[in-house]
Amino acid sequence: MNKKRAENFECTLCHFKCCKQSNYDRHLSTSKHLFKTNLNNFEHISCHKPILQCDICGKNYKGRNGLWYHKQKCKETTIENLANNNNDNDNGVISDKKLILMLIEQNKELMEIVKNGTNNTIHNNNINSHNKAFNLNFFLNETCKDAMNISDFIESVKLQVSDLENVGKVGYIQGISNIIIKNLQALEVDKRPVHCADQKREVIYVKEDNIWEKEDENNKKLRKAIRMIAHKNICMFKEFREKYPDCQEYDSKKNDLYNKIVYESMGGKGDNDYDKDTKIIKKIAKVVCIEKD
């Protein structure tokens, strides 16, 4: 393969000639020469036992390049033959084209199953939603059929001087909330006149005239109840004065306390009455939220 002459060096594999040993040695280490040498050795081995075979038609090839070019033509020929002949499976083997058609048909059937499954899911969700609404209706009209009317609840609230003092201490919003929540929690759940079906959206139901009704977006009935109980709290001023007569003396400590109680009971600072009552409703809704488990 590599031949050295008297005054000339030649590589017949690469068609390379030179007259210097150093140049010839450098050529032997080049990637071109090494690649040619490896390729020649590979082809020499392959000629005795083909190891590259077309997986479509089974034809053997010595080089990868020849096999690659053959495969391109072999694929085209195979596809063309399949398109022109659907009866090539004399041995009972399903052709590629029939297999593709079968897969397409199966895919259509699968899509129908998925579609029907989705419809069933939607249908089941609708049934579940209906059941939830039905359960809420059952809870209010059956479980809580003996609940108090909201007007009866307001009438039942009995305040103490300590409730009035607490309003002065913690402020109007928290103080009035405490009074209402304390009296609601004193009742059994099924006796309460108000329930919250959805705390996040503040979906509230109030019983009045022996009928459960969903509150409007302004929670009109509950706001009225808050104002009436707040008025009851103001009516406790007289009892406070009777309990602490010196509260009316401007230089006494009780007078400072009394003034603060009056100020907070009348609404205190900040926000208008509507916004204050809205905050009280949020606190009430949290306590009377229906446990659905």
Listed range (17-21, 81-85, 135-139, 150-154) with the worst mean pLDDT: 81-85
Task: Name the pLDDT band for 90 (thresholds 50, 70, 90).
Answer: very low
Identify the pLDDT of residue 67.
Answer: 74
Identify the pLDDT of residue 293.
Answer: 63
**pLDDT(240) > 60:** yes
Identify the pLDDT of residue 236.
Answer: 96
**pLDDT(73) > 60:** yes
Whole-angstrom Cα distance, residue 58 to residue 116?
46
For residues 198-212, give the mean pLDDT: 94
Task: Name the pLDDT band for 115 (thresholds 50, 70, 90).
Answer: low
Identify the pLDDT of residue 46.
Answer: 42
**pLDDT(224) > 70:** yes
Q: Which residue has tokens 């009074």?
A: 179
Top pLDDT among 250 and 102 is at 250
**Considering the chain, what percentage of its residues have pLDDT values greater than 90?**
48
**Considering the chain, what percentage of its residues have pLDDT values greater than 70?**
73
Task: Name the pLDDT band for 249 (thresholds 50, 70, 90).
Answer: very high
CB 8 within 8 A of CB 19: yes
Q: What angle do CA 32, 36, 38 make, to 5 degrees?
A: 120
Stated pTM of the model: 0.56
CB 136 within 8 A of CB 290: yes
For residues 34-53, give the mean pLDDT: 57
CB 52 within 8 A of CB 67: yes
3-state secondary structure of 7: coil
Identify the pLDDT of residue 49.
Answer: 47
Q: What's the token pair of residue 208? A: 């009045």
Top pLDDT among 188 and 17 is at 188
CB 139 within 8 A of CB 215: no
Identify the pLDDT of residue 43.
Answer: 47
For the chain, give every domain's residue range: 1-49, 146-287
Whole-angstrom Cα distance, residue 144 to residue 225?
20
For residues 117-132, give the mean pLDDT: 52
Whole-angstrom Cα distance, residue 35 to residue 58?
28
Whole-angstrom Cα distance, residue 46 to residue 49?
5
Q: Measure the N-to-C terminal CA separation of the chain; round to a whole number of Å.
A: 89
DSSP tally for the chain: helices H, then strands E: 11, 8
Identify the pLDDT of residue 130.
Answer: 47
Top pLDDT among 240 and 8 is at 240
Identify the pLDDT of residue 84.
Answer: 58
